[in-house]
Amino acid sequence: MTNNNNKPAEEKKEQFKYELEYDRDGCIGAGSCVAVYPEQWSLDDEGKAVFVKKEFNDNELEKNKEAAQACPVNVIHIRNKHTGELIDQK
Ligand code: SF4
């Protein structure tokens, strides 16, 4: 007897745990996020922040949290995609 295990596994492709929510309209270009996490944040020609990666995992959570918490107008948030919770609260 053989088990019928020929179904394709539910592959976990690139499943990211967290995502950034960023309110560009509210950004005042203070640059705190850039100072804290320059690999992720920079200022564009309009003096507004832009980020590199919308989604990421635990290995990048701390730096993203620091940037979110550094923003003086609180326009950067991090959501846990699995639970739906905002997790950058101070
Ligand atoms: S810290 Fe906040 S206000 Fe300052 S550039 Fe970054 S997103 Fe914009």
Structure confidence at residue 88 (pLDDT): 75
Reading the block at residue 88, the tokens are 């950058």
Hey, what amino acid is at 29?
G
Q: Please work out whether the CB of residue 20 comes within 6 Å of at least one atom of ligand 1.
A: no
From 15, 14, 29, select the one nearest 73 (Cα to Cα).
29
- Residue spans of the domains in the chain: they are 18-80
Q: List, for residues 34-43, the tens digit of each pLDDT value.
A: 999 999 999 9
Note the pLDDT of residue 23.
98
Q: Does domain 18-80 have CATH number 3.30.70.20?
A: yes
What tens digit of pLDDT does each residue of 54-85 get?
Answer: 999 999 999 999 999 999 999 999 999 999 99
Report the atom number in ligand 1 closest to the C-alpha of 30: 4
pTM of the model: 0.83
Which of 43, 50, 71 has most ligand 1 atoms within 8 Å of its beta carbon, as the pocket-test mutant? 71
2-18: burial string, b at 16+ Cβ within 10 Å, e else: eeeeeeeeeeeeeeebb
Q: For 66, phi and psi rounded to 5 degrees?
A: -60, -45
Which residue do the tokens 């950058």 mark?
A: 88
